[in-house]
Amino acid sequence: MSPALLENEERCFGGMTFFAQSHPAELCGSNGLPLTPNSITILGKSQFLKTINHPNLCSYLDIIRSKHERTIVVAEYCGKPLASLENLSVDKVIRIAYQCLVGLKYMNKFGLVHSHLSPENILIDKNGTVKLFNFGLYYMTDHGKNVSFPIGYPKYTAPEIFLSSGMRSVKVDSWSLGMIIAECLLGCTLWPGYKLSQSLRKVLSLVHTENSIFERISRENNCFNIYEDLPEDVRAFVNDCLQIYPSQRKTPETLLELPIFQEFLKKDDQDRENSLYENVIQRKMDELYYLWQLAGGDMTIELKRQGLIRSRPPILTIPNLVILLGQMFGRRDIAGLLDLRVVKVSLELLSQRLSHIPYVANYPRLSNHTYAQEPNDLTDTASQLPLIIRERDTEYQFYRIVLFNRLLQIYPITKDAIKREAHKDIPPPVRGAIWAALLGVSGDIQTKYDMIDKETPTHTDRQIEVDIPRCHQYSELLSSGAGHERLQRLLKAWVRDNPHYVYWQGLDSLTAPFLFLNFNNEARAFACLSAFIPKYLHKFFLKDNSAIIQEYLSKFSQIITFHDPQLANHLKSITFVPELFAIPWFLTMFSHVFPIHKILHLWDKLLLGDSSFPLFVGLAILKQLRDFLLASGFNECILLFSDLPEIDIELCVKDSMSMYQKTPSSITYRKHQYDQSKAANWNEPEVGTEKIPRISVEDLIYLVENSPDKVLVVDLRNNIQYERGAIAGSINIPFTSVQLAQDRITSLGPQATPLSENKDRIVVVIGPNDQNSALFAEFLIGCQVFGVCSLQGGIYALRSKASNLLLPARKEKGFF
Amino acid sequence: MASRGTAQRPNGTQGKICQFKLVLLGESAVGKSSLVLRFVKGQFHEYQESTIGAAFLTQTVCLEETTVKFEIWDTAGQERYHSLAPMYYRGAQAAIVVYDITNQDTFTRATTWVKELQRQASPSIVIALAGNKADLGNKRVVEYEEAQAYAEENGLLFMETSAKTAMNVNDIFLAIAKKLPKNEQTGNAGTSGQGRRLVESEGQKPTSGNCCK
Ligand SMILES: Nc1nc2c(ncn2[C@@H]2O[C@H](COP(=O)(O)OP(=O)(O)O)[C@@H](O)[C@H]2O)c(=O)[nH]1
Ligand SMILES: [Mg+2]
């Protein structure tokens, strides 16, 4: 029996909280609208931190925005703070210093400055591994600009920070580390019991030190004897950190070049090499955090439970004094704005929930032919449940995530397996990657994206600028400054990369879901958008797209007629044409009409279909509003669409899927669609002239041969021709016998009974010529017959392609 | 005073009810949708979504003698959507052409809309010019006098408005309502969708609106 999944898990979640600076209430942006709250700016900016993963840094897991500009940060937490360790040997201290430097060097590579180092947020686990906690506070607050508290512990703060207000360089961290290490080495607390202002004065007094600051500190704290006993290279290291002038101080990277660290570096290289051959899977922290939340974990509640968030009666939060000019006094205590405490939450809750899952579940079986096999039938049973339930089931999500991650690892050879699995559902944490896979994104997308010019001003800039602040702004991510910048870059890149296309309003909405899912991976968002548009919106973004839109909308009308003749007739009678309401639907693939969380579920399925799928989504929406529409006139209908009521998206997806699957693909054929593989011999008349769709001979043959019970063929030729050869089981209604002015099926005589009773069969009208077929098909629509289409090319096409289907009629046929 | 919702007088014998089709035109982001939202629902959304294609809303205002029901078409502003515009202004009895007082280009664009309406729309159309975002006085670039002079020359109603503060929003619709002819041709106001003939051809005389009883 293998061990349980999360046995011996030392890692925890750490939560901490602070307040962003709130804007004065009366302040407006230059557009007269309220400023973006700083907590949102922080939320947007801090997303990037989630991408920083390094063994010596605690990964960021979540940034939560709460009431009154409160920000809650959730990050990995591992082991104990340096502050809690005593009597560390010099060797141990140097090992710790080394790992801190490796972590700092790594974050410096991304331009990140810690600026908040202290013995409280240097964590050391059982194995002696060091991880820096909350290393991104300075970054996420835009160098402290979005908060009103100072960042950094006065005692460990580099003197230049007190002397100038500019941007802090990576060297401030060298200083802080120097002070922290000095404290450790000397084995005492420097300046114990000093007040903030005293510490500050103390640091500034160091500016006038002539010789070694380390030495001076040790003398001042009565530990000169310890200092004297330290090895020379140790003292040299601390002295290199504690240089007053930043120009003389080393960066973390150059500190690592000191001889004292060379042994460690060598050993690390060796370890890395060895670990290549180990195959131990440790579930990633972000994944565990996601599952923990599903299992009921909630950091806000944990912070409340441990007293870091206290709800105060609102009366206590209002200012004591407000003068008429708008200034306020006695509001909130600045000191309370940053809480230095960290709440540690173990994985217990999650490990209990997953306790019966064995460790081997980390390796889902993928049999050959890359066919994905479920580890047990739990997931199969579960996949019958409604999507929202599956999405909240911890165990189910665990299996799904493991499986998809495995498939993604070896993508693109698993493309088909991914597609098959995606038919069931897509776990939210891997959605961005899965969508990319479904869209066939692969290769070096980053380089491609980097090479596109996103800076040069263009004519479209103004339009993009005014659209972005109106695009899905209820989403905290998309309304943040970081969200705006990214969306702008993506849109500019797309316009630049598609010179044959132009920016149409709506492209912003269309891009938003991709950005939302790939907030930290613009290149992937871009690659998805670039693959999505040709597939679903081929030519929609042409400067003159009227022919394309017109064709799409008239296809939509045909599809309504095909699936719901009663509704089609009603809409026609009140001249309620799709041009009035459906342009934003299709141009944006519904991303302009639904909120993001609904779009995600809708597109999960859309991505499995082709460019005709949206037609059925449109139809499924109409279906939900059907009763209202049928009972309403023009004004009521159009009002309904201007302010679209709540749509049940899961039902909508289900309906679209089933109608999509029931409809032969030629029914939705468009001249402007991307896939023209079946285009030969398709000569539909002018767009909009036929109200009823056509079906191809191939699709008819397929239906007749494979599911004859799904089709009802109506043959319009005269009796003699019909009896000479017709499709078995077809109904003969000679065109000349039809009174088109009628609107009742019974006027056709008894052989037409199957038509009036038809619920779900496809009615294919075959005429001697297209014109008559169309007229007759329209007649059937008038009689509200379901599923009517006419055969492209009529009887001649059928004869030339499948004369074997045309059998002489048996005696009893055609007689009545 | 504008009334909320589509309130109609409880009994039809008091005064007459007229329906008019009104269209809003203007560069995007000048505040067309915001003006309509303010007028119809009394609300203002800072993050008003952009309009693709067009949106339709109705609102009723009561004058002394008559009740006027506006059927309002709010259009997309982007130049590219221009080709759709005739579908909406055709048969309209009134139009509000909107610009943003903090942006000169939007004013220029407004003047081209006015020209197009004068050429293409029904000759009796009542056109109002709205200089929106008047709350941003300190960022003004289009002078009140300039716009007013232009409006006078072209026989337009003119007001500076603010969808944000509601300034002049009801007033501009009211002024239009007053200026619209309410005495031609009796029709039955009960039939909805009188202003809907969006796709009828140029020559056809619109039977819409003016349908008072
Ligand atoms: N300050 C101010 N902003 C406005 C006003 N009217 C609209 N806005 C803002 O301008 C932007 C565009 O408005 P919108 O109604 O979508 O313009 P449309 O494209 O012409 O329909 C939105 O962010 C609105 O909040 C106004 O009167 N004053
Ligand atoms: Mg608008």
Question: Using 50, 70 and 90 to split pLDDT, how confident is the model at A770?
Answer: confident
pLDDT at B80 (0 to 100): 84
Q: How far apart are CA A459 and CA A263, in angstroms?
A: 58
- Rounded Cα gap, residues B20 and B189, in angstroms: 10
Coil, helix or strand for A501? coil
> Which pLDDT value is given to residue A379?
61
Nearest C-alpha neighbor of A419 from the set A266, A605, A664: A605
Q: What is the mean pLDDT of residues A107-126?
A: 96
Residues with CB under 5 A from ligand 2 (ion): B 32-33, 51
Say what the pLDDT of residue A371 is: 46
Greater confidence (A140 vs A330) lies with A140
Nearest CA to ligand 1 atom 9: B31
Domain coordinates in residue numbering, chain B: 16-179
pLDDT in tens, A520-559: 999 999 999 999 999 999 999 999 998 999 999 999 999 9
What is the per-residue DSSP string for A119-188? TTSEEE-TT--EEESSTTHHHHTTTTTT-SSPPS-GGG--HHHHH--SPPPTHHHHHHHHHHHHHHHHTS
Predicted local confidence at residue B151, as pLDDT: 98
pLDDT digits (tens, 9 = 90+) for A186-231: 988 888 888 888 888 888 888 888 889 999 999 988 899 999 999 9
CA distance A159 to A293: 42
Asked whether residue A314 carries a pLDDT value surpassing 90, the answer given is: no
Hey, are the CB atoms on A470 and B76 less than 8 Å from each other? no
Q: Where does the pLDDT of residue A649 fall: very low under 50, low under 70, confident under 90, or very high at 90 and above?
A: very high
Please say if the pLDDT value at position B48 is more than 50. yes
pLDDT of A330 > 60? The answer is no
The complex's ipTM works out to: 0.85
Looking at per-residue pLDDT, the higher value among A281 and A217 belongs to A217
Judging contacts by C-beta atoms under 8 Å, the chain B residues touching residue A643 are 57
A267, A226 in Cβ contact below 8 A? no
Q: Above pLDDT 70, what percent of chain A?
A: 92
A564 closest CA partner among A788, A791, A790 = A788
Confidence of residue A645 (pLDDT cuts 50, 70, 90): very high
pLDDT of residue B93: 96
How many A from CA of B125 to the centre of ligand 1? 25
CA angle (A639 as vertex; A637, A644 as ends), nearest 5:
95
Taking the centre of ligand 2 as the mean of its atom positions, its distance from the CA of residue A555, in whole angstroms, is: 27
Residue A698 scores a pLDDT above 90: yes
Checking if the pLDDT of A659 tops 70, the result is: yes
Task: Give the pair of three-digit tokens for residue A658.
Answer: 């089933």
Q: Using 50, 70 and 90 to split pLDDT, how confident is the model at B202?
A: very low
Position B132 pLDDT exceeds 70: yes
pLDDT higher than threshold 90 for residue A427: yes
Q: Which residue of A has its CA nearest to B47?
A: A470
A134, A189 Cβ separation under 8 angstroms: no
- Whether B180 shows a pLDDT value over 90: the answer reads yes
* Ligand 1-lining residues (CB < 6 angstroms): A 31-33, 469-470; B 26, 28-34, 46, 48, 50-51, 77, 132-133, 135-136, 162-164
Spatial separation of the C-alpha atoms in residues A677 and A683, rounded to whole Å: 15
What is residue B197's predicted lDDT score, i.e. its pLDDT?
40
Task: Report pLDDT digits (tens) over A484-499.
Answer: 999 999 999 999 999 9
Which of B71, B76, B136 shows the shortest C-beta gap to A635? B71
**Lowest pLDDT segment from A322-336, A770-784, B187-201:** B187-201
Q: What is the pLDDT of residue B210?
A: 41
d(C-alpha A780, C-alpha A797), whole Å: 22
CB-based burial of residue B196 (10 Å sphere; 0-12 exposed, 13-18 middle, 19+ buried)? buried
Which residues neighbour B120 within 8 Å (Cβ) at sequence distance 6 or greater? B86, B89, B90
Task: List, in order, residues 6 or more apart from A334 with CB less than 8 Å away.
Answer: A148, A149
Distance (Å) from CA A470 to ligand 2 centroid: 10
Nearest-5° angle of CA A97, CA A12, CA A273? 55
Min distance A634 CA to chain B CA atoms (Å): 5
Cα–Cα separations (whole angstroms), residue A715 to A348, A704, A733, A783, A798? 71, 14, 6, 18, 12
CB atoms near residue B119 (< 10 Å): 8
Instruction: Quick: pLDDT tens for A338-378.
Output: 888 999 999 999 999 998 888 778 888 775 444 444 445 55
Q: Strands of A343-346's sheet, edge to edge?
A: A60-65, A70-77, A12-19, A343-346
Q: Determine the pLDDT at residue A642.
A: 85
Higher pLDDT, B15 or A514: A514
Question: What are the residues whose beta carbons fall under 8 Å from the beta carbon of B127, sequence distance 6 or more?
Answer: B94, B95, B96, B97, B114, B117, B118, B154, B155, B156, B157
Instruction: Give the lowest-confidence range in A161-165, A399-403, A528-532, B154-158.
Output: A161-165
Residue A685 confidence (pLDDT): 75
CATH architecture of B16-179: 3-Layer(aba) Sandwich (3.40)
- Give CA A517 to chain center in angstroms: 2
Nearest CA in chain B to A479: B47
Region A803-813: mean pLDDT is 73
Indicate whether A675 pLDDT > 70.
yes
- pLDDT (0 to 100) of residue B201: 35
User: How many percent of chain B have pLDDT more than 70?
Assistant: 78
Helix (H, G, I), strand (E, B) or coil at B24: strand
Q: Name the band, by pLDDT with cuts 50, 70 and 90, for residue A688.
A: confident
- Which residues, including other chains, have CB under 8 Å from residue A232's CB and lie 6 or more apart? none
Is B110 within 8 Å of B97 (Cβ atoms)? Answer: yes
pLDDT at B42 over 80: yes
Average pLDDT of the residues of chain A = 90
pLDDT of residue A769: 83
Express each pLDDT in A31-70 by its tens digit.
888 899 999 999 999 999 999 999 999 999 999 999 889 9
Burial of A718 (0-12, 13-18, 19+ CB in 10 A): middle
Query: What is the distance between the alpha carbons of residues B103 and B126, in angstroms, rounded to a whole number?
Result: 25
Cis bond before residue A412 (omega within 30° of 0) = yes
Contact at CB, B192 and A634, closer than 8 angstroms: yes
Phi, psi of A790 (to 5 degrees): -115, 150
Q: Taking 70 as the threshold, does the pLDDT of residue B4 lie above it?
A: no
Separation of first and last alpha carbons in chain B: 21
b (16+ CB within 10 A) / e for A370-397: bebebbeeebeebeeeebeebbebbbbb
| pLDDT, position A27 | 77
**Atom 19 of ligand 1, nearest CA residue:** B29
- Who has greater pLDDT, B120 or B12? B120
Q: Are A726 and A752 in contact (CB under 8 A)?
A: no
